[in-house]
């Protein structure tokens, strides 16, 4: 990896920072955040502005360029990568280290008195603008919105914003029509006495209209906004996608509809002016509901007194609770995904053990190949983490030619992968050894497994937030002085983003919404030994009601049902470290894998993989 040479680019950027063509007054600093206008986790190539100006293309980082300096803030995952990808023009600001200044403090320390700091108001979330603007103002500077994105002005071959065809999802996939979703949304709006709701997150637009797209890799979403009134629906979307007869039919664009369900289609770029018009027309006590993560530009379009901001939107919360059509779809998707992985692991055993010719990249490609053979496969749900030996200890590893390692009988192999099927989204991690694991490797694996089971089998009252379960996953590791430095689980969309809010299982959050039946999260504790190996065991699990002996205050209880049905390598388990209850959990789980996935392998005529499955799901026997 050689760094990107940015001297000329920075010179150009500093010029436009002073050019009356783009800025009303010169700005002494310009901020380039990571995100897009929808605060997406995964972004399209045209939104990779921070990577363009700096060379650093990790998933998190903020660049700030002043007349004299260029600095990049990123976190511990990316210190090495950023240092490799950026040239000497850039100073790396290592977030999380004690002596690293915040962006605000740094700006205050380098800027001349009374400076202006510019930022694209569509890219910065409103809550972040507020914090930064306050800090700068108290030091005598101003944060100012720069309408035209200054990176775009110096990016001649900037990719086009994608505008790919849409997929319509019928009731058999979604369970609820978009009309009924609008009705439910309006009833939530009425409850909170708001007249308008602005949909800014891409997965929320996709979910609301039962549409999917492919504008962003891994996330089946499309660039759009929506503004829902009590009697109006406005969808802001570009391209000839609305000319597709299937889409017109789906959205009933050409039907005679009650006016409150008539969708007005408007250009993507007109959201701001339309929202400003809404804002201008409001009278006392009329409120507009936005996410507090919406962009500063859109938030500012609504006068402050009329804004109703919440951390989680009603769509985010409704989307998280899957209905029976969605959970059935997720089940189907996970069965197909398990078939692909049984094929893969069977193939790996045949290739790795005698030949030693399989690299991390080959294994990842093979996993994709097997998945793509399954019905309704669309794409991967994230970049496959295919890592062997020491690479497994790099939590966000993705194999590239420079790091690509060959699988062997001497190393642990960790595969974290998933796919988008039209009926659901998968995300599964298995950790395998193709030779003979050491006692220490088995010991660590077994602690991780105990943590996985502790969460998966946990029973907890209705209303419990996921962060309260996080320690269950760590307890067995803690007992021996071990731990892992990531959360235990995240929400998973239904043929949507593989990471979604508002629930999860992590010590880091507190403001997550309580778990409820129908929510789907991952359960993925791990253990990582730097320079040696990584272990992670991940299932996607569905929150379901639990039967309990008693029922305190009639609250009811919940537990999890694994949707992922892929064998957990018993060779890696030290059975004597398991309790009888844990041993039974593994055996019951494997019995279910054998029955459900076995039947599907049989149906698909995949007999060799079936034999592998049966061998891998032999019951554990615990010596008392």
The answer to the question of residue 480 lying near a copy of itself (CB under 8 A) is yes
Q: For residues 39 and 200, is the Cβ–Cβ distance under 8 A?
A: yes
Q: What dihedral angle (degrees, nearest 10) is formed by the CA atoms of 483, 591, 442, 481? A: 20
Nearer to a copy of itself, 165 or 463 (CB): 463
The region of 86-94, 116-124, 284-292, 547-555 touching a copy of itself under the rule CB under 8 A is: 547-555
- Member of 88, 172, 273, 475 binding a copy of itself (CB under 8 A): 475
- Member of 148, 369, 483, 618 binding a copy of itself (CB under 8 A): 483
- Member of 57, 507, 574, 577 binding a copy of itself (CB under 8 A): 507
* Residue from 378, 367, 237, 327 nearest 561 by CA: 327
* CA distance to 224, 362, 413, 436, per residue, from 359 (Å): 40, 5, 11, 19
Length reported for the chain: 624
Nearer to a copy of itself, 304 or 603 (CB): 304
CB of 465: closest distance to a copy of itself in angstroms? 8
How would DSSP label each residue in 61-128?
-EEEEESS-EEEEE-GGGHHHHHHHB-TT-EEEETTSTTPPPHHHHHHHHSPTT-EEEE-TTTSBHHH
Q: For residues 507 and 478, is the Cβ–Cβ distance under 8 A?
A: no
Nearer to a copy of itself, 294 or 455 (CB): 455
Nearer to a copy of itself, 464 or 539 (CB): 464
CA gap 342, 395 in Å, rounded:
24
Q: Residue 423: helix, strand or coil by DSSP?
A: coil
Name the pairing type of β-strands 460-461 and 412-417. Answer: unpaired
Nearer to a copy of itself, 356 or 478 (CB): 478
- Member of 478, 571, 611, 615 binding a copy of itself (CB under 8 A): 478
Nearer to a copy of itself, 145 or 556 (CB): 556
Nearer to a copy of itself, 283 or 554 (CB): 554
CB of 504: closest distance to a copy of itself in angstroms? 15
The region of 2-10, 390-398, 480-488, 564-572 touching a copy of itself under the rule CB under 8 A is: 480-488
CB of 475: closest distance to a copy of itself in angstroms? 7
The answer to the question of residue 482 lying near a copy of itself (CB under 8 A) is yes
- Member of 471, 532, 570, 587 binding a copy of itself (CB under 8 A): 471
CB of 534: closest distance to a copy of itself in angstroms? 14
Q: Which of residues 117-146 bind a copy of itself (CB under 8 A)?
A: 138
Q: Which of residues 550-579 bind a copy of itself (CB under 8 A)?
A: 550-553, 555, 557, 579
The answer to the question of residue 160 lying near a copy of itself (CB under 8 A) is no
Q: Which two structure tokens, joined as six digits, stand for 536?
A: 């992670």
CB of 477: closest distance to a copy of itself in angstroms? 8
Q: Which of residues 431-460 bind a copy of itself (CB under 8 A)?
A: 458-460
Interface with a copy of itself (CB under 8 A), residue total 31
CA gap 459, 543 in Å, rounded:
10
CB of 131: closest distance to a copy of itself in angstroms? 17
CA gap 66, 32 in Å, rounded:
11
CB of 291: closest distance to a copy of itself in angstroms? 22
Q: Residue 565: helix, strand or coil by DSSP?
A: coil
The answer for residues whose C-beta is within 8 angstroms of residue 527's C-beta and 6 or more apart is 444, 445, 447, 448, 477, 482, 484, 534, 535, 536
The answer to the question of residue 311 lying near a copy of itself (CB under 8 A) is no
The answer to the question of residue 468 lying near a copy of itself (CB under 8 A) is yes
Q: For residues 572 and 441, is the Cβ–Cβ distance under 8 A?
A: yes
- Residue 500 CB burial class (10 angstroms; 0-12, 13-18, ≥19): buried
- Member of 481, 531, 605, 621 binding a copy of itself (CB under 8 A): 481
* CA distance to 82, 118, 141, 476, 548, per residue, from 14 (Å): 22, 12, 18, 54, 65
| 3-state secondary structure labels for all residues of 355-399 | HCCCEHHHHHHHHHHHHHCCCCEEEECCCCEEEEHHHHHCCCCCC
Nearer to a copy of itself, 326 or 470 (CB): 470
CB of 537: closest distance to a copy of itself in angstroms? 18
Name the pairing type of β-strands 70-74 and 167-168. Answer: unpaired
How would DSSP label each residue in 457-471?
T--EETT-BGGGGHH
Nearer to a copy of itself, 183 or 480 (CB): 480
Which residues lie near a copy of itself (CB under 8 A)? 138, 305, 458-461, 468-472, 475, 477-483, 507, 510, 546, 548-553, 555, 557, 579
């Amino acid at each position: 990896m050689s760094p990107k040479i940015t001297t000329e680019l920075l010179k150009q950027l500093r010029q436009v920072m002073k050019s009356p063509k783009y800025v009303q007054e010169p700005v002494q600093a310009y901020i380039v955040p990571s995100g897009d206008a929808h605060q997406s986790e995964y972004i399209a190539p045209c939104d990779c502005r921070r990577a363009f100006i700096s060379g650093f293309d990790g998933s998190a980082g903020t660049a700030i360029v002043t007349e004299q300096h260029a600095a990049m803030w990123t976190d511990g995952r990316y210190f090495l990568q950023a240092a490799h990808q950026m040239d000497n023009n850039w100073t790396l600001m290592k977030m999380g280290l004690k002596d690293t200044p915040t962006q605000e403090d740094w700006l205050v320390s380098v800027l001349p008195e009374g400076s202006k700091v510019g930022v694209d108001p569509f890219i910065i979330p409103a809550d972040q603008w507020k914090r930064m603007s306050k800090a700068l103002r108290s030091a005598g500077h101003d944060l100012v919105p720069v309408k035209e994105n200054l990176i775009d002005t110096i990016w001649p071959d900037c990719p086009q914003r994608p505008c790919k065809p849409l997929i319509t999802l019928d009731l058999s996939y979604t369970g609820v029509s978009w009309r009924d979703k609008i009705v439910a949304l309006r009833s939530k709006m009425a409850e909170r006495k708001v007249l308008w709701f602005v949909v800014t997150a891409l997965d929320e637009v996709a979910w609301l209209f039962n549409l999917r797209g492919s504008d962003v890799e891994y996330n089946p979403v499309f660039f759009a906004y929506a503004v829902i009134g009590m009697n109006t629906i406005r969808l802001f979307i570009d391209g000839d996608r609305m000319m597709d007869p299937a889409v017109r039919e789906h959205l009933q664009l050409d039907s005679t509809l009650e006016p409150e369900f008539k969708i007005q289609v408007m250009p993507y770029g007109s959201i701001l002016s339309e929202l400003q018009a809404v804002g201008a027309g409001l009278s006392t006590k009329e409120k507009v509901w936005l996410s507090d993560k919406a962009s500063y530009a859109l938030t500012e379009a609504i006068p402050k007194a009329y804004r109703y901001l919440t951390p989680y939107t009603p769509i985010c919360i409704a989307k998280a609770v899957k209905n029976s059509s969605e959970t059935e779809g997720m089940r189907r998707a996970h069965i197909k995904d398990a078939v692909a992985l049984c094929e893969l692991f069977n193939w790996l055993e045949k290739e790795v053990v005698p030949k030693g010719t399989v690299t991390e990249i080959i294994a990842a490609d093979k996993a994709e190949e097997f998945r793509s053979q399954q019905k309704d496969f669309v794409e991967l749900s994230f970049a496959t983490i295919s890592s062997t030996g020491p690479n497994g200890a790099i939590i966000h590893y993705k194999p590239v030619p420079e790091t690509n390692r060959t699988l062997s009988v001497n190393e642990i192999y960790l595969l974290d992968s998933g796919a988008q099927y039209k009926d659901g989204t998968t995300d599964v991690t298995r950790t395998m050894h193709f030779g003979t694991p050491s006692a220490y490797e088995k010991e660590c694996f077994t602690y991780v497994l105990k943590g996985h089971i502790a969460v998966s089998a946990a029973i907890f009252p209705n209303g419990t937030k996921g962060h309260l379960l996080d320690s269950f996953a760590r307890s067995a590791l803690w007992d021996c002085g071990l731990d892992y430095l990531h959360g235990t689980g995240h929400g998973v969309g239904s043929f949507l983003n593989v990471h979604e809010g508002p629930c999860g299982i992590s010590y880091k959050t507190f403001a997550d919404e309580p778990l409820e039946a129908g929510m789907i999260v991952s359960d993925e504790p791990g253990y990582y030994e730097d320079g040696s190996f990584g272990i992670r065991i991940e299932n996607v699990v569905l929150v379901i009601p639990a039967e309990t002996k008693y029922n305190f205050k009639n609250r009811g209880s919940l537990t999890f049902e694994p949707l992922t049905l892929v064998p957990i390598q018993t060779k890696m388990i030290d059975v004597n470290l398991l309790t009888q209850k844990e041993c039974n959990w593994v055996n019951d789980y494997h019995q279910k894998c054998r029955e459900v996935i076995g039947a599907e392998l049989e149906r698909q005529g995949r007999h060799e993989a079936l034999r592998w499955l049966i061998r891998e799901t032999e019951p554990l026997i615990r010596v008392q």
